[in-house]
Amino acid sequence: MAAATIVHDTSEAVELCPAYGLYLKPITKMTISVALPQLKQPGKSISNWEVMERLKGMVHNHQFSTLRISKSTMDFIRFEGEVENKSLVKSFLACLDGKTIKLSGFSDILKVRAAEFKIDFPTRHDWDSFFRDAKDMNETLPGERPDTIHLEGLPCKWFALKESGSEKPSEEVLVKVFEKFGEIRNVDIPMLDPYREEMTGRNFHTFSFGGHLNFEAYVQYREYVGFIQAMSALRGMKLMYKGEDGKAVACNIKVSFDSTKHLSDASIKKRQLERQKLQELEQQREEQKRREKEAEERQRAEERKQKELEELERERKREEKLRRREQKQRARELRRSQKRQEKLQAEEQRQLQEKIRLEERKLLLAQRNLQSIRLVAELLARAKVPAGPCSRGRLQPGAPRYPRGVWGSLPPGTCSPRPSRAPLGHAASRSRTPGGCSRN
């Protein structure tokens, strides 16, 4: 649907439901066609913007509410223009229809044709002939006769409950708005049914060019007169919303009669059965999702448990490895300590052996010194005996006798007399000869 436009003049607005700020405003559109000449020079073109500006200048003291290009070809440019009031349409048509435009740089004149916009709206003949000729329709049954209006392009925000704070349309508001034309038997807003898109394969959430979220709705009247009054009131009208601040905006809506038996009892029952099936299917899906979620949770729990076990196993192995490493470290330290102890003991033993060796050497040296002393004493003792001949300690016959004190100067070979006492360290049990001389 077209974008919502700001309405400056609301004098022609008709009340629809003032409680919700909804009004009906006449559609004031026109179609303008500009015939283009044959371009003889290559590379030369006509500016659509220049043509539009010339059209705006042709309506002297007035201006278009909107003017846009609906179609552009090599032969013509078609515009759709809209004005504020219905009364201005005739004056705009008088200023435009049959006039010409002279563009700068072109010798040919462009002809302008303007006409009131032809509204695509069904007539009473259309629905009467449709339901009369349709073989699958029973005019005695609701929904299979001309009693349901199909509305498209309704802004969601305009039909939302004010106290709810939501921008979703409400069936209650829809009933209050359209019950002005007669008693309503049933309404349906497909976008409010979460299963409708899946049932029909259609997308009921549509956006207009203005950014407003629009919806479609079905309104079924209990009496034929209500349907007729609603269709007559909506013919050639667009929907206008007037806020509390007094500002008004309007948007075009599409209105047609329902030819699909949408609100017939059979269709409603069919949708209910489909909805029930979809609900059961959704419950099955939810149950399946729940089971899958539980299975995933169990799997995740098992994975977490497995990871914890693996982590514990890794921690145990790590601790075992550290323990073995510590044991090896302690064993190495113990071996090193033992080696140091053995080394110290060996060093002490070596020092002790060295000390013993030194002591033994000292003892040996002392013994040798003692023996040397004894030997010297013995030698000295022997040296005191005369060196003359003797026989068993007695003087040999003919040997001279020397007085006491001159033994040291005895000639060699003379025997010394027995000394008065034995030398120091000499054996007391020394054997003597009968003559008093010692035996060697």
Task: Pick the closest to residue 5 from 209, 157, 217 (CA basis).
Answer: 209
- Residue at 210: amino acid letter: G
Residue 428 in this model has a pLDDT that exceeds 50: no
- Give the pLDDT confidence score for residue 408 in this predicted structure: 44
Cα dihedral 374, 380, 382, 383, rounded to 10, equals: 160
> What residue ranges in 157-245 does DSSP mark as E strands?
184-188, 206-207, 213-221, 237-242
Which has the higher per-residue pLDDT, 147 or 421?
147
Average pLDDT value for residue range 356-375: 84
User: Are 187 and 218 in contact, with CB atoms under 8 Å apart?
Assistant: yes
What's the pLDDT band for 427 if we cut at 50, 70, 90? Answer: very low
What's the pLDDT band for 364 if we cut at 50, 70, 90? Answer: confident
Q: 6-15, 47-56, 357-366, 396-405: which range is least confident on average?
A: 396-405
Strand partners, 187: 219
Distance CA 290, CA 191 (A): 27
- Measured between alpha carbons, how far is residue 392 from residues 318, 398, 435, 436 in Å? 102, 16, 6, 8
- Give the pLDDT confidence score for residue 413 in this predicted structure: 46
- Give the pLDDT confidence score for residue 229 in this predicted structure: 94
Residue 437 in this model has a pLDDT that exceeds 70: no
**H helix or E strand, kind and range, residue 304:** helix 265-383
Average pLDDT value for residue range 351-377: 85
Residue 248 in this model has a pLDDT that exceeds 60: yes
Strand partners, 242: 248
Average pLDDT in the chain? 81
- Measured between alpha carbons, how far is residue 69 from residues 79, 85, 174, 252 in Å? 4, 21, 34, 17
**pLDDT tens, position by position, 74-133:** 888 999 988 888 888 888 888 888 888 888 777 778 899 999 888 889 999 999 999 988
User: Are 438 and 418 in contact, with CB atoms under 8 Å apart?
Assistant: yes
Within 8 A by CB and 6+ apart from 144, the residues are 131, 137, 138, 261, 264
- Give the pLDDT confidence score for residue 40 in this predicted structure: 62
Q: What does pTM read for this prediction?
A: 0.63
Residue 238 in this model has a pLDDT that exceeds 50: yes
What's the pLDDT band for 411 if we cut at 50, 70, 90? Answer: very low
Long-range pairs for 131-136 at CB < 8 Å and ≥24 separation? 134/259
The terminus-to-terminus CA distance of the chain in angstroms comes to 161
Long-range pairs for 280-285 at CB < 8 Å and ≥24 separation? 282/195
Within 8 A by CB and 6+ apart from 152, the residues are 1, 214, 216, 253, 254, 255, 256
User: Are 230 and 149 in contact, with CB atoms under 8 Å apart?
Assistant: yes
**pLDDT tens, position by position, 374-408:** 888 888 888 886 655 544 444 445 545 544 444 44
Distance CA 16, CA 19 (A): 9
What's the pLDDT band for 269 if we cut at 50, 70, 90? Answer: very high
Average pLDDT value for residue range 187-200: 81
User: Are 151 and 16 in contact, with CB atoms under 8 Å apart?
Assistant: no
- Give the pLDDT confidence score for residue 393 in this predicted structure: 47
**pLDDT tens, position by position, 141-153:** 899 999 999 999 9
Distance CA 110, CA 126 (A): 39
Distance CA 131, CA 128 (A): 6
Other beta carbons within 10 Å of 135: 4
User: Are 55 and 67 in contact, with CB atoms under 8 Å apart?
Assistant: yes
- Give the pLDDT confidence score for residue 108 in this predicted structure: 79
- Give the pLDDT confidence score for residue 375 in this predicted structure: 83
Within 8 A by CB and 6+ apart from 126, the residues are 257
- Give the pLDDT confidence score for residue 184 in this predicted structure: 94
Q: Which residues of 162-176 are buried (b: 16+ CB within 10 A; e: fewer)?
A: eeeeeeebbeebbeb
What's the pLDDT band for 278 if we cut at 50, 70, 90? Answer: confident
Angle of the 87-96 helix axis to the 48-58 helix axis, nearest 10? 120
